[in-house]
Chains A and B, each alone.
Chain A
Amino acid sequence: MVWILLFYSTGKAVATIQQGGGIKIKTVNTTAITEAVARMSQEANYYLGQDVLEGFQKALDEEISVTGKEILQQLIENANIAREELVPMCQDTGYAVIFVELGQDVRIEGGDFYEAIHEGVRRGYTEGYLRKSIVSHPLERKNTGDNTPAVIHTKIVPGETLRIIIAPKGGGSENMSQIKMLKPADGIEGVKKFVIDTVRAAGPNPCPPIVVGVGIGGTFEKCAQLAKEALLRELGEKSKYPDIAKLEEELFEEINKLGIGPQGLGGKTTALAVNVEIYAAHIASLPVAVNLNCHAARHKETVF
């Protein structure tokens, strides 16, 4: 058995070498990575995505509460000021959460890849007059002064492109997020109940209208990551699985019946979207994670 495995791996390695001349390897310099991260940190905080702005407009048309309408108008005006004056739309410019998709045929040169990302955050947050919201030790709580470190999630994917996404994440909505290990017997009803209970308990705190990211399946930590990844989706983009797209639709309707409304002051617009991501689960488990994002649903990406 051992012999076969060794032989197999050697065969592969040789094959790779033989193909070497044909495979294109892209080289990306860490200086370019730092520059991209610095630029995106600022852009994500100044320019609210068109999808969110359209979400505000749609909600404004449908909202029945006068206060709710006023708030939605203010959020549109706020996004316009931020865009025109290049100032952050929200004072909480977030924890810099970075998703990397690294093509396996990409070579990074010029230094430490992760350090290049942290340096980009450091520069972006300093040069862009963004708030420094990170403390180095969760209990001692001393501010690092430059918003580093970033939280970095890396995936190795086929191909020769490097994709970097930054999603600055505010503390107010992050603090209202929850995870629970349900029993398989709890099924879809259990999942729905947990998501709705989480949104209800959050009430006004995560700055509604919110985007609800849900992860179902995987292990404890995989599930939480799925919920975060769900927040990266453009608003209006549905799950590729028909049954999950239907679940998203049902959750969206039920959440907007809660009455929480813009800023929790009452109304129909509690969520702008509900995005669900799934993964295979253990026969004994049904993990569900709910990651709430505020209306400052920020993300920007660069592809090398």
Chain B
Amino acid sequence: MTQIRLTTPLTDEDVEKLRIGQRVSLNGTIYTGRDAAHKRLVELIAQGKELPFDPKGQVIYYVGPTPAKPGAVIGSAGPTTSYRMDSYAPKLYELGLKASIGKGRRSEGVINALKENKGVYFAAVGGAAALISRSIKSCKVIAYPDLGAEAIHELVVEDFPVIVVNDTLGGDLYDEGIKIYAAK
């Protein structure tokens, strides 16, 4: 299957042309964040304070990697289940976030936020963590080191493989997949 190559930061045009089911290879800087980091980010937004990184045009990867072995860039780093970030994600898309990467379904609130703010949701292969790590070229903690694996890391990725699950038109690959393959 053909792949679309994208480099961060992403523009509206980059994401508007994406459609569910397409394979994308991501390049450039992306940021990690899970439940605890999202809670802190949204608290900062509520207080009108500056965030540890500007979400405009950026991509957040929902991941809590294993510790890096000596000499390795990062440990195993596959996606975590995204719905736990659903209550926080719309705020970040409003601030210009262009994509999030995780696994599993998003809420209606997130799907609407994608339509309204021109954003997409990508899936990475859950549990393929050792394989995915190979496309991560550098890793540094930029905020909340006290959260350990849940700290915000800045990653530089090369040909990081994802699939478009929710696009800017409200499409949902999980629904479509079941429609095609459920035995009648």
Report which A residues bind B (CB closer than 8 A).
64-67, 70-71, 74-75, 77-78, 81-82, 85, 87-93, 129-133, 141, 143, 145, 171-172, 175, 203-205, 207, 257-261, 263-268, 294-296
Residues of A within 8 A of B183 (CB): 257, 259
Residues of B within 8 A of A66 (CB): 1
B33 → A minimal CB distance (Å): 14
A-B contact pairs, 20 of them (CB 8 A): A64-B181, A74-B128, A78-B129, A81-B134, A82-B76, A88-B129, A91-B75, A91-B76, A91-B77, A129-B69, A171-B80, A171-B81, A203-B174, A204-B174, A205-B103, A257-B183, A260-B177, A264-B104, A264-B105, A294-B127
Please tell me if the beta carbons of B103 and A91 are within 8 angstroms of each other in the complex.
no
Please tell me if the beta carbons of B81 and A259 are within 8 angstroms of each other in the complex.
no
Expressed in whole angstroms, the Cα–Cα distance for A70 and B3 within the complex equals 14
Minimum CB distance partner of A126 in chain B: B67
The answer to whether B63 has its CB under 8 Å from any CB of chain A is yes
Expressed in whole angstroms, the Cα–Cα distance for A67 and B161 within the complex equals 13
Given contacts A67-B163, A203-B104, contact A88 B75 (CB under 8 A): yes
Please tell me if the beta carbons of A261 and B149 are within 8 angstroms of each other in the complex.
no
Interface size class of B (residues with CB under 8 A): 35 or more
Expressed in whole angstroms, the Cα–Cα distance for A261 and B182 within the complex equals 9
| Cross-interface CB contact of A267 among B83, B163, B177, cutoff 8 Å | B177
Interface class of chain A by DSSP:
loop
B113 → A minimal CB distance (Å): 19
Given contacts A82-B130, A87-B66, contact A92 B80 (CB under 8 A): yes
| Cross-interface CB contact of B127 among A70, A85, A207, A257, cutoff 8 Å | A207
Please tell me if the beta carbons of B125 and A75 are within 8 angstroms of each other in the complex.
yes
Minimum CB distance partner of B68 in chain A: A129
The answer to whether B52 has its CB under 8 Å from any CB of chain A is no
Within 8 A of A (CB), among B135-184: 147-149, 163, 165, 173-174, 176-183
Expressed in whole angstroms, the Cα–Cα distance for A172 and B125 within the complex equals 13
Minimum CB distance partner of A267 in chain B: B181
